[in-house]
Every structure is written in structure tokens, then in C-alpha cells.
A and B are shown apart, each in its own frame.
Chain A
Amino acid sequence: MKFFLTSMFGKETSRGDRRFGLDRIVFLLSLFILIVTVLMPMLMIVVRTFFKGTQPDWALFTRVVLAPENLSAIYNTVKIGFLVTLFGTVLGLFYAWLIGRSDIPMKGLMKALFTIPYMFPPFFGAMAWSLLLAPRSGYMNKWFMQLTGGTSPLLDINSIGGIVFVETCYYFPFVFLQVVSALERMDPTLEESARIAGAGQWYVIRKITLPLVLPAIAAGAMLILISSLSHFGVPAILGFSNNIFTLPTKIYQLINRSAGSFEGIREGAALSILLVGVVVIALYIQRIVLKTGHYDIIKGKSMRPMLIKLRGAKIPLLGISLLSLFVIVVVPLFMIFIVGFLKAYGLPLTLQNLTLRNYEYILGQSKMVRDSIVNSLFLSVSSGVITMFLGVMIAYVVIKVKPRGKGFLEMLSLLPYSIPGLVLAIGVILVWSGTFGINLYNTIWIILIAYIARYVSFAMKSASASLEQVHYSLEEAARSCGATHLESLRDITIPLIRPGMIAGFFLIFLPAMRELTTSVLLYGPFTRTLGVAIYAINSEGNTVQASALATVAIGIIIAGHFVLRYVTRDRKGL
């Protein structure tokens, strides 16, 4: 053991003994936690799929993969993923360019509004659009059928097209934000030198700007693709009624149907491996696309880029943007809000049909709902705090200590980033349902463990960003002023990363509050989360109550975002 540690730390670090001990502890602790929460679930999935007891067993995997209903689920997943990525990228690119490079007015407002879909879980959108475009009961369809006197709806949201539409609305900000940021950071002289060389505005966009933001586009598109492939909520709400399945919803169905039987979980695990396989292929393609390029575009002096004058097109484009913002952001939120006040779903939206009864019920009478809010708060706060500390520890080890095992540690911490939430949930079930003596199934702790695994990548990236800004000379300066290693951490490093850590906490707290995909497989009778509660109430058909609860969730999320803004406002310091 001593040899192992010395070989890890012996030559690389060169500090005094006390630091040697502290670093060692932090490294081992991080490694242990990551192995238990991340690596073991993944290994268990592989083991359980391909082994029955201790005997290798390929039959299950092949059977599951080749079953026709599963094949169709695979096909749907890929098709939807592809379409959502395509439309989301085009939409995101269009608006990013409009806001980042043209002279369209109201940029501040639009930029703020475009980031709203980012804040809400896509399944809220599915609920909202279902209220409008469910084939028979949706308000817009009913109005349309009245108008035409027929029985065919305007649009049926319970279709692949519907799923694609809703997911696109919620995922396009990934590309939008990445590209806008790249455009803002780009050295304007790269475009100016093209103009001087004789190129007009559009030529410059085609040949210079677009190729240079390609990495940002690819990064954003990849985020969209992975999110769509792993997503549960939207296909669940919009697809079940028409028997449209994607891999995540199929996995859910398999496990639910089997009522916790071992065979069922094994089948779910097998499908999970397939899902992960699809994601890995997507990541590989991205790497190939990005490899053929040389992209250093960040500028030094701060100069404003030349804005393209839209002239005649300004008003129409402004109109289109505002209209789409209206459709994407305002309409769904409004629907959920107003339906929460309806006496019953389907009633016309008039004042006399409004009531506060739904809120009374969910907040006053339903113990299940109150419990779910408490559960979600507990889970979000604790997973936020725990993963932030974990993230800081890992980032510290990787960036500052740099022992020989750091690549492995880093890889482990970034692994969950590309693993779908459902898959993580299955892995966690396999590990913590008694296999190793501890059975946490149906308790809140199993959800907590899954959350930690799920969010550790975010925490690690956020902590890395903060820590990298603390140049090592700042710590060494403290040492030369008489501070021990521990004191320099306490006096210098931690105060400097504290704002980043707080921001990081909220970046985990907020998604965790509204999360569905992971907890939908892990909840027990008393451990529902807020997302599960909304989904469950909606699935039972209590549309108005589901809407009311969704509105409450939206309220919590918005409040959380204001706190985040306040906490990360530009103060003194870095």
C-alpha cells in the first residue's frame, strides 16, 4: 500500500510532508466515491446483462435486442434524435446569428427570453402542448373542429412529429447559447480582414464565420442529440397513448411491467446498453467532425464586431423572432398556468370556470404532493451540496495535485455526462438492492445516490473552471508569506472559488428540483419527487391538478433563478 502511494505521489509532488498526507486523503476519497456511485452501477449493468449468476448468457441480450417492439423503439429513438438535432441546430444557429451578428433591436430581451426554455423540463412543454393539441380534447383542435365542423383535428400532438416539435423547442437553446458565446468571443479582425480582401457580408459569413464557430455548433448539437436520445418525459407523455415508444420509455415499460422482477430488470439493463451504445456512436462522430480543424479564435483586445445591417429585413425578422418566442415560451407557460385554475379540463376558458380548488387540493389536502415537494427539496439541496464538494475535491486533485491516477479519476467523473439518466437509475438499482448487503430500494437514499452520480460531471466542470482561475502563484505567494498549505487553501483558494461553488450548487439544485427521468424508475410509495408527482397525476388523467402542481414547480424554479442571478452578480474579486 505504501509503495502504491509513494509511486503515485513520490516524484510528481515535491512538497512537505503534511501536504502529502492531505492530498493523499482527498485523492483516495474522491476515487472511492466515484467508483461506488458511478463505476459500479455501470459494471453491474454489463454484468447482469451478459451473465446469469456466474454463467455467461448471450441469449437474453440477443432476444431483447431483436424483439420487434424493441427494434421499433430503437428506430424511433434514432429518428427523433436526428430530427430534433437537425431542427434544433438550424433554429439555434439562426437566432444566434441574428442576436450575435446583426443589428436587430431588442437583443437583450430576446436573449433573456430564449434562455427560458432552458429552465424548464421538456415534459412541462409536452403537457402544455397536449392541452392544446391532444387529438380530441386539445383546445386548439376543438376550436378547429368547431370551425370546420369535422372530426379530424388540426394537428395531433401524440405523434412522432409532436415529440420532435416539443423537444426542439426545449433543446435548441443548447446550440443558441454555445454559438452566441462563440460569436461574442471571436476576434472581429478575422472578419474584417476578409472584408478588406474584397468579400461581402454574406461571403464572410459563409467562408469565415461559420467554419470558425463550427466547434461551438457541434458542441451544442451534440448536447441536443444526447439529451434527446436519453429523454423520457416527452415521449412518455405524448407517445404512450399511440403506442409510440422510444428506448427510454420502452425501458421504463419493461421494468414497470415486470413489477421489479429480476428478469425484467435484466431486460431493461440490456436495452440500456443499447442506448448507451447509440450515445457513444454519436460522441465518436462528433470527435471525427471536430478533429479536422484548427480553431483558435479567442481575441485579445476588446473590440466590437461589425454588425450586419439588416435594413429592409429588420422588421420582418423581428416579427418572426417575437412570434416564435411567443409560441415557444409564452403559450405553453400560459396554458399550464391557466389550466391549473380550471374547474375541470375541457371546460371553456372563461372566468366562471376558474377556481382555486386545485391548489387547495395539491397544497392542502394531498399528502403525496406535500411529501414530493419535501422530498425534492431534500434531494436537490443535499445532492447539490454533496456533488459540489465532490466536484471541488476531484477538480483539486486533477488540477493541483496531479497524481499519476488523475486521468482515470477525471474520466470517471465525466462519464455520467454521457450516460442517460434512466440507465444510471437501472445501474443504481442493481447495486443497491441487496447485492452487496445493503438494500436501499424504494428509499430516498437510492435516489440521492443516483443524483450524485448524475450531477457529478456538472459539479466537476464548474469547479474546474473556478479552480483554474486560481493561478498557482496565488497560493505560492501565500506560502512565501508564511501560510502553511492548509492556511493558503483556507485564506486564498477557497474564498476565490466560493462564488463559483455557489453558482455550481444552483446549477445542480435547479435541474434536480424538476427532474423526472432518473427518479421515475427509483421512486417508491413514499419517495416521490416533484417531477414524478406531476407526471403521475397527469398520467392518471387529473390534468388540472397536474397543471396546478406544474405551476407551483415553475414558481420554485423561477425563484431559484433569481437567487442564482443575485448570487452570481458581478461583485469584487475575479
Chain B
Amino acid sequence: MAIVSMRDITVQYGKNTVIDGLSLEVERGENLAIVGPSSCGKTTLMRALCGFIKISRGEIMIKDTVVSSPSRRIMIAPEKRNIGVVFQDYAVWPHLTVFENIVYPLRKRKVPKEEAKERALAAMAQVKMQDFAERLPSQLSGGQQQRVALARALVSSSELIVLDEPITNLDAKLREEMAYEIRNLQETIGVTVIYITHDQETAMTISDRMVIMDRRGAIRQLGTPEDIWNHPNDRDVYAFLGVSNFLPVTNEKGSLHLVSASGKRKLENLHVDIPQEFGSNLLLASRPTNIRVSPLADSSTGIEGTVERVTYLGHQFDYFVNVGGHTVRVQEDSLEAFGRGVPDEGSPCAVEFLQPAVYEADPRDPRFEL
């Protein structure tokens, strides 16, 4: 059953429509990531949910209560919505100790002192900050401040917490730790977590479901990370997740031909379904890890290209391969590369696309006019 229900909501800043007719339901107990590029409206969405900004149309419900509804003139104040929030800059109050920060929501809800103290201490233990109760935020590192913010949010609401890009400012190692801690907490307490970020890598690893938003504030896809990765709705979602290559190809009676300056070249051995309704100008989408580069002599399948750049990154090799005038990025595991032989820069090669997808091309794509 849905704990949050947003129906057809529109948010405007002055003359700008930031979000237009968006609908979303969040299931109880799930970890939902809302992902999108910066200023796509995801933070606005979160602020509307928490009650910091008004929506101009639509309705927001939390559990069974309508909290925002312009048509019914309902706008429940943030302090009455019972949502725990972790802000992007943590917003830990500098003049209060760690304990005072965490116990604050309980004081506001008029919980009796002894009980409040117990609950606050329990929350601190959950985020492993119990030894820091009397410290001030200025004496804590970024990661520790964030844990205080997390404990405070959990104390504030055991049902729903929202995290706004909370780990972007941490270094890689800390980011991983925090991501797993959030995940753990959610699984132990059963709280619903809404997680706002532009980092789709993190979102994929910690969420049950993901919402992909685009620059205009619209939802492009909603599903599990596995679903979205394996079946992206459209070209933009495909491009948004990780690195991708898009080659201009034309569809000639079921076989695909690469568009290049020297004319069209047929792509052999491609295992891909082309939907009936697609036009003739298409894009062949591929991931760097699903492309095989071999010496030209060794391969009968695969299209001819030139290896332009070889970069060694330790665990992998990055190749930039020129295929018919277009640059394709390829990644190969270094152990395998040394086993098969690392290509030389400038050497001719054969390129095979192992798990490609096709999408319709933009009608004004200049690459088709070569």
C-alpha cells in the first residue's frame, strides 16, 4: 500500500513550470531513488512533499491524509507532516551537541524526558555515534555530521525519511560506507526511504526501485534497477545510465547499415530486434563493456575500425575506436586484455557489438547527412 501518493502535481517558480503533471506512488517500506541531472526538479519534488513549497495543481497524500491540495485549500505545515529529512548540507545545528540535535524532534513532539533520552541514545547507537554525544558539530568530520543528521531524521519519523543528495560531498570510500549503512537501517527498521541524487551509480546499488527524471521535470521510467538497466524505455534513459555509444545506422529491410563518410557499411552478425514501427534512421546503442575489439586478421565478423587511443587504467583498458568516422568507447578487463593481446594505437581492428539495442534517431541528427 502506498505511503506517499502524488497525483498530477505541478510546481511553478514565478513564470517557470518546474514540474508539470507528475504522478508517483511510493510503496511502504521501500527504498526509492529519484534520479536525474541537476536542476531537473527532483529537489523541488522533495520540498513539495515535505511542505517547504506549495504546489500549484494536484494533490499530495501521505498515508491516508491529504497534505497539499490547492483545490481544497489544504497546505499542512512541514512540522505536522511527520517526515524525517536529511538535507544536502546535513543542516546539523552548530550550537547544539550531537545528543541535543538528535533529541530535538522528541522534545518538539512533547515526548517525556526519560523516554526521549532513551530513544535518542538508541538512534545514536544505530548510526555508531554513541561515543560522541557531547561533541559539537564543529568537532566532527563530514561523515560523522551526516550520521547525526540521519539519526535525527530517524528519530523524527520511523515511517518515512527523505535524503537529499546526502553523500555526494563525501569521498568514494565514505560514500560506499554510508550507502550501505542507510540500506541496513532501512532493512532493520522497515522505514520507507526516498533518496534524491544525480549519481545513478549509487542509486542503482541501494534502491529497490528507481525513478528517472529528465531535465523538464518529467518521469521517464520507474522500475527496479535491474529492469531499467535491462529494458530502458528510451534512448535518454539508456544514455543516462553509465557510458553509452550511439552509432547512426539505417534500417534496410531488417539489416542495419552504418552511416559513414565513405558510404554505408553493412553490420554483420547483429543480434537485435528492430520494432516494426521504427523508421529508417536509427541509432545503434551499445555499452563499452559489450563490445569486442580484435585484430583485423583474426575476425571474420565485426566491422572494420581503427584503434585510436589506448589507455591503461590498472583494472581495465579504455579504447577509443574509430568506426566509419565515429568514435566508439570500449572497455576491456586488463587481465583479459593482456591475455588476448593489447592492441596498438593506430592499428586496424575488427569491432563486434555483442548486446546492442536500437532506438529511433533524432530527425535532425546531422550525422545522417554525411
Contact = CB atoms under 8 A, between A and B. Distances in A.
Interface of A: 11, 14-16, 18, 471, 473-474, 476-485, 487, 491-492, 495-496, 572-574
B95 A481 contact: no
Contacts of A479: 51-52, 77-79
B40 interface: no
Contacts of B147: none
Interface of B: 14, 50-54, 75, 77-81, 83-85, 87-89, 91-95, 104-105, 108-109, 136, 138, 149, 152-153, 156
17 contacts: A14-B52, A473-B87, A476-B87, A477-B93, A479-B77, A480-B78, A480-B79, A480-B81, A481-B79, A481-B108, A483-B108, A484-B77, A491-B104, A572-B136, A573-B94, A573-B136, A574-B95
Given A480-B83, A482-B105, A484-B79, A473 B88 contact: yes
Contacts of A16: 75, 77
Nearest to B104: A481
B115 to A, nearest CB: 15
B108 A474 contact: no
Nearest to B55: A14
B87 A573 contact: no
A522 to B, nearest CB: 41
B77 A476 contact: no
A171 to B, nearest CB: 37
B162 to A, nearest CB: 9
B91 A482 contact: no
Nearest to A487: B108
Given A480-B156, A482-B105, A573-B94, 6 more contacts: A14-B52, A474-B91, A480-B50, A480-B79, A483-B108, A573-B95
A14 B68 CA distance: 12
Nearest to B153: A480
A364 to B, nearest CB: 47
A11 B14 contact: yes
B85 A476 contact: yes
Contacts of B156: 480-482
B120 to A, nearest CB: 12
Contacts of B77: 15-16, 18, 479, 484-485
A496 B104 contact: no
B109 A480 contact: no
A503 to B, nearest CB: 16
B95 A476 contact: no
Contacts of B14: 11
A215 to B, nearest CB: 29
A319 B53 CA distance: 63
A572 B135 CA distance: 10
A492 B92 CA distance: 11
For the complex of A and B, the 10 pairs showing the least CB-CB separation, nearest first, are A482-B108, A477-B91, A481-B105, A14-B54, A479-B78, A473-B91, A480-B85, A16-B77, A473-B87, A573-B95
B250 to A, nearest CB: 50
Contacts of B79: 479-484, 487
Nearest to A16: B77
A572 B108 contact: no
A481 B161 CA distance: 11
A275 to B, nearest CB: 42
Contacts of B88: 473
A487 B79 CA distance: 10
Contacts of B53: 14
Contacts of A482: 79-80, 105, 108-109, 156
B93 A492 contact: yes
B91 A476 contact: yes
B84 to A, nearest CB: 7
A310 B257 CA distance: 74
A460 to B, nearest CB: 23
A29 to B, nearest CB: 24
Contacts of A574: 94-95
Nearest to A481: B105
A358 B81 CA distance: 70
A476 B52 contact: yes
Contacts of B91: 471, 473-474, 476-477
A302 B85 CA distance: 32
Nearest to A480: B85
Nearest to B75: A16
Given A479-B52, A480-B78, A474 B84 contact: no
Contacts of A481: 79, 104-105, 108, 152, 156
B159 to A, nearest CB: 13
A496 B109 contact: no
B93 A471 contact: no
A347 B105 CA distance: 73
A21 to B, nearest CB: 13
A326 B67 CA distance: 70
B74 to A, nearest CB: 11
B24 to A, nearest CB: 20
Nearest to A496: B95
Nearest to B109: A482
A491 B107 CA distance: 11
B78 to A, nearest CB: 4
Contacts of B149: 477
Nearest to A482: B108
Nearest to B157: A480
A495 B95 contact: yes
Contacts of A484: 77, 79
B150 to A, nearest CB: 12
A478 B152 CA distance: 10
Nearest to B89: A473
A509 to B, nearest CB: 24
Nearest to A474: B91
B167 to A, nearest CB: 16
Instruction: Name the residue among A474, A480, A572 with the largest chain B CB count within 10 angstroms.
Output: A480
B116 to A, nearest CB: 12
Contacts of A491: 104
Nearest to A499: B95
Nearest to B88: A473
A484 B51 CA distance: 12
Instruction: Name the residue among B84, B91, B156 with the largest chain A CB count within 10 angstroms.
Output: B91
A11 B104 CA distance: 32
Nearest to A479: B78
A368 B51 CA distance: 61
Nearest to B77: A16
A134 to B, nearest CB: 54
A491 B94 CA distance: 12
A477 B87 contact: yes
A495 B104 CA distance: 15
Contacts of B136: 572-573
B31 to A, nearest CB: 19
Contact of A496 (B81, B85, B94, B108): B94
A478 B52 contact: no
A485 B108 CA distance: 12
Contacts of A14: 52-54
B326 to A, nearest CB: 39
Contacts of B78: 476, 479-480
B76 to A, nearest CB: 8
A16 B107 CA distance: 22
Contacts of A483: 79, 104, 108
